[in-house]
Chains A and B, each alone.
Chain A
């Protein structure tokens, strides 16, 4: 287990010291501050506007970072041969993949919660009344992007180029937001094969509708029980992790 956490720790250190990563985080912070400075645009409920826009931007920036890191980490390690230096130590392929994903999850958490805290302090400074649903919103952004990190790493193991891994990961993110529409579309189909195809797509895609933080903030309640959401998220992530490991054990490196 020590090796697994060492891989995770190194993934974090490697990416945090990446100049591009630093620039990105700085840019996200800058944008949040710009929004705050433009709060006067909203005549009523300026804090709600700041919070909604701020959270949307946090999700957007960390989303790009998640796709960039998760879909490229394995291919980069493989192309740069640094993977050989890890797999010729007492580290199994499973440990390497799981450690890498844990590292990416830590990076996502670090970014979502640090940017979220900055946004929260700005809101408090604007006399905003703290609500626990704000923290839930951050947690749900983290979970959504966390699932995407599992998918991104899976595609980076399946693909041979960073470009294709990125495209597949982005496609899943976009399609997952429309999962309910896919199901509706499937029910309207008369052709059995097409219906099956869309049904399969619906079941395979992550259910981002249950993780929608905007619903949580506006209704101030969770759409499902926390336990149900946790079981779904953990099971989905576990299935992706198992598939990734099975592919990686057979993969030529």
Chain B
């Protein structure tokens, strides 16, 4: 499958602005370190990590908003994005403020004008995107009346109004209520079906499991792992939970039955013993690991020098 984004050995560091940090000798703060990955056409690629892990730096580098120290980024097969490329890109920044005392119509109209659309096309696209996000009825309201979640929807509306081929969403669920989150997840699924490539920065891992295709785990500016949402690493640990009806050796009581977690290497041996001793086996389940557990394990076992 064709790659929409190729990132190769991306490095970016920032000069420390805080005077106290500088006195301590910290002059450079690492943004990202030797980051490499690619995003395939039509997939939902999620970048997950803690706050300050380097997710936004990657997104800004992709968009050419910041210049990397070294490394190569190709978007749509080009080293440097041209102005025309932005007709096919939608972007939602992590945080953005909009002038509060203007109407939603004025704001969204302005973004439509930046895409050089005809009035008819612009109005159609504006209404479509506002309707998808459930804010079309508020078009004549001033933004000062909008809640945080509503403002986030405005941000998403401006990101999708040009029907982009590549959509970059930085923390799109931020400030949304559960209904809003579901709406955005449905929107992402719909856009994916229509062929949009989506890069999603988030730390809400349950959402990623539902809508993502591949995941990059970022910690302290390093890519710790890139994995498929359905990969075995996430689903199977190799451990089994054996449940039996009666008390037997190290099996722990759990409700009316007895359970034991058995590692892959001893599974056959224990199973054989249970059969030999005529123990009534209720069930054998393979242990599944959630993305959250996998992510936390990676972060807790990370030996990278925390230079961020």
Measured CB to CB, the residues of A under 8 A from B are 2-3, 6-7, 9-10, 13-14, 17-19, 80-82, 84-92, 252-253
Contact = CB atoms under 8 A, between A and B. Distances in A.
A14 B116 CA distance: 20
B83 A17 contact: no
A253 B66 CA distance: 7
A92 B101 contact: no
Sort chain B's interface into a size bin. Answer: 20 to 34
Nearest to A93: B83
Interface stretch (B106-114, B123-131, B276-284, B291-299): B106-114
Given A6-B114, A90-B87, A91-B83, 14 more contacts: A10-B106, A13-B102, A13-B106, A13-B110, A17-B101, A80-B96, A80-B97, A82-B96, A84-B65, A84-B91, A86-B114, A88-B65, A90-B84, A92-B83
Interface in B33-85: 60, 63, 65-67, 83-84
A82 B111 contact: no
Interface of B: 60, 63, 65-67, 83-84, 86-87, 89, 91, 93-99, 101-102, 106, 110-111, 113-116, 155, 158
Contact of A89 (B94, B95, B101, B115): B115
B111 A89 contact: yes
B116 A252 contact: no
Contact of A252 (B63, B66, B89, B102): B66
Contact of A6 (B91, B99, B110): B110
A2 B113 contact: yes
A89 B93 contact: no
Nearest to A87: B65
Given A14-B102, A90-B83, A84 B113 contact: no
Contact of B114 (A80, A81, A91): A91
Nearest to A19: B101
A108 to B, nearest CB: 19
Nearest to A79: B97
Contact of B96 (A19, A85, A91): A85
B111 A85 contact: yes
A10 B110 contact: yes
Contacts of B65: 84, 87-88, 253
Contacts of A84: 60, 63, 65, 91, 93, 96
B4 to A, nearest CB: 16
A192 to B, nearest CB: 38
A18 B106 CA distance: 14
A6 B115 CA distance: 10
A19 B65 CA distance: 31
Contacts of A90: 83-84, 86-87, 114-116
Contacts of A253: 65-66
Contact of B91 (A7, A18, A19, A85): A85
A108 B112 CA distance: 26
A161 to B, nearest CB: 12
Nearest to A22: B101
A85 B158 contact: yes
Most chain B Cβ neighbours within 10 Å, of A3, A80, A85, A92: A85
Contacts of A86: 114
10 contacts: A6-B113, A9-B113, A17-B101, A17-B102, A84-B93, A85-B93, A88-B91, A90-B83, A90-B87, A90-B116
A89 B96 contact: no
Contacts of A88: 63, 65, 86, 89, 91
Given A89-B86, A90-B116, A82 B110 contact: no
Kindly list the 9 A-B residue pairs having the minimum CB-CB distance in the complex, ordered from nearest: A6-B113, A89-B114, A80-B97, A88-B91, A81-B96, A90-B86, A10-B110, A17-B101, A84-B93
A223 B200 CA distance: 62
Given A17-B101, A82-B96, A85-B158, A3 B87 contact: no
Contacts of A91: 83, 86, 114
Contacts of A19: 101
Nearest to B116: A2
